[in-house]
Amino acid sequence: MFEKLQRLGKAFMIPIAVLPIAGLMLGIGAAFTNPLMVETYGLTGILGEGTFLFYVLSTMSAIGNIVFSNLPLIFAVGIASGLALQEKGAAGLSASIAFLVMHTIISTILGFLGHTPDTTSVEYFLSIGLDPVEAAKQANVYGYELGIFTVRIGVLGGIIVGLLVAFLANRYYDKKLPEALSFFSGVRFIPIISVLAISIIGVIIPFIWPYIHIGISTFSEFFGRTGPIGMFFYGTLMRLLNIFGLHHAIYPLFWYTSLGGELEVAGKLVQGGQSIFFAQLADPTVTQFSAEATKYFTGGYLPMMFGLPAAALAMYRTADSKNKKIVGGLLFSAALTSFITGITEPIEFTFLFVAPLLYGIHAVLEGISYAVLYALDVAVGVTFSRGIIDFTLFGLLQGNDKTNYIWILILGIPTAIIYYYVFKILIVKLNLKTPGRGEDSENKLYTKKDALLKDIDIEEVISALGGRENLVDVDACITRLRVTVKDTSIVAEDSIWKEQLKAKGIFKMGSGVQVVYGALAEILKNEINRIK
């Protein structure tokens, strides 16, 4: 299960990887074409309607918006190609075809059942006696996908298509058919079997989705009614799952599906927290972003921009005097990465393995951040992570009236103080071996240059993984080498990875192995795949 979840998380990252640039284009385009901002700062002559920059920025906004408007298809193709072990291109193409077929079949079945745009509207449900709330819920079950009248299965539909096609591609990529049908063997069989399989699912969905949709909406409402308490547990859990890289398999469900809520924006029902935010960002009539939508990610700004940099300062201040010069630059670099980009693993993994208690406290503090910012109605959006870049684009430039971003700045200093003193006191009182403390402390964060030139021998890494014959699949995320092996019992122990192979740590579960290497992970993956 661990191995499958880590692969799923990695597959999720493929479609998600295109979203930061789309979000940046939408954020910049929407911010600098907003009439209120243009008039407030007297920029009509430069950015006003009809100017060259207005056309450029409007185009950027449209490009970003079209990506977020078609996330279901993007997820279908991305997951299918990401999970396919062979013939990834064929899997991606098959997923796009299957996605269209599924919604076409759903639309056809809805027609047979008498469900049309007219008989699924709020007005129709009101006319047959439903109360306004129930009428809205029933109407929200139905909508459009790529111009096809269908059920609002959204990104979840894309995930279903992606998973199914990947499974079929991995099973039938080398399928041999009888001689008369040999042309359709192998890779050509993938779209055929995908269409046949998704057709069955397409027939079933119209009968069961209305009940599933209502159930998800009810659960989402229940989760919302838990208020700050619910967000505390969500934020804490996501940070703990980050240890194993499994958060990638969970948070997209809240960011891009109806599990993260539904809201009508510009006359269109939008599902998922991040999707709602960017739909509102593209709508110039929105005067305040929905904190109900952004509650699944805004809480990360306080620990990423203020908390962890302060923790890095605490580790520096508690380091042995002789080591401060060595660890100072490294910790500063990791802290700056967290502050600017919101990428936290370089700094988190400096204390996760040597002082897991600190990581547990960090997770709790992040949960509190989620709860507090949600309670204060803060609604600052996110592309990929929560650093000063995203804060500027989706907080400062959007204005406090829309986002309540001021609370992040107000609470930033108290957050930093809490992190600093909690970390400093615990490090000193418990004599925790954070970077620079003790004779045998590791006083470096490993760089690409270290690995490529002298520190890591690829053959030794492969040997530590049990040898070439033990490798099934080698992949990587931002900071971890993710490997599926035949036998984890012959994978080297943690001490060997740390002392000889310069890793920060290793996780083994089922047939999945994750080795924490920071920015080296992608390089090592490429090198292992090149020579294995």
271 occurs within a structural domain: no
- Domain holding 506: CATH number? 3.30.1360.60
229 occurs within a structural domain: no
- Residues 451-494: pLDDT tens digits? 343 467 788 888 889 888 889 888 876 678 888 888 888 998 88
283 occurs within a structural domain: no
The answer on pLDDT for 89 being more than 80 is yes
- Residues 369-393: pLDDT tens digits? 999 999 999 999 987 678 898 899 8
Q: Examine the domain organization and report whether 412 and 474 are in the same domain.
A: no
Q: Examine the domain organization and report whether 109 and 166 are in the same domain.
A: yes
Give the domain range for residue 519: 448-531
Q: Examine the domain organization and report whether 179 and 113 are in the same domain.
A: yes
Among 95-99, 192-196, 249-253, 355-359, the range scoring the smallest mean pLDDT is 249-253
6 occurs within a structural domain: no
Identify any residues that bridge with 144 across adjacent strands, giving them in sequence order: 149
What pLDDT does residue 224 have? 65
342 occurs within a structural domain: yes
CA–CA separation, 161 and 156 (whole Å): 9
- Residues 300-331: pLDDT tens digits? 999 999 999 999 999 999 988 888 888 888 88
Q: Name the pTM for this structure.
A: 0.64
Q: Examine the domain organization and report whether 424 and 452 are in the same domain.
A: no
The answer on pLDDT for 154 being more than 70 is yes
Q: Examine the domain organization and report whether 78 and 201 are in the same domain.
A: yes
Looking at 178, 207, 236, the residue that finishes a domain is: 207
Phi, psi values for residue 173, rounded to 5°:
-60, -25
403 occurs within a structural domain: yes
Domain count, the chain: 3
Q: Examine the domain organization and report whether 413 and 470 are in the same domain.
A: no
What pLDDT does residue 450 have? 42
Identify the residue whose tokens are 């600093």.
Answer: 420
- Residues 406-421: pLDDT tens digits? 999 999 999 999 999 9
Do 507 and 244 contact (CB within 8 A), yes or no? yes
Looking at 180, 207, 234, the residue that finishes a domain is: 207
Q: Examine the domain organization and report whether 377 and 461 are in the same domain.
A: no
477 is catalytic: yes
Instruction: Name the average pLDDT for the chain.
Output: 84
Q: Which of 48, 42, 39, 103 is nearest to 70 (CA)?
A: 103
312 occurs within a structural domain: yes
Count the neighbouring beta carbons within 10 Å of the beta carbon of residue 114.
Answer: 8
482 occurs within a structural domain: yes
Given the residues 135, 169, 371, 477, select the one marked as catalytic. 477
Q: Examine the domain organization and report whether 395 and 462 are in the same domain.
A: no
Q: Examine the domain organization and report whether 79 and 136 are in the same domain.
A: yes
Q: Examine the domain organization and report whether 80 and 202 are in the same domain.
A: yes
Q: Examine the domain organization and report whether 457 and 420 are in the same domain.
A: no
Looking at 207, 226, 258, the residue that finishes a domain is: 207
Q: Examine the domain organization and report whether 421 and 468 are in the same domain.
A: no
What pairing do the DSSP bridges indicate for beta strands 262-265 and 268-271? Answer: antiparallel
Do 220 and 284 contact (CB within 8 A), yes or no? no
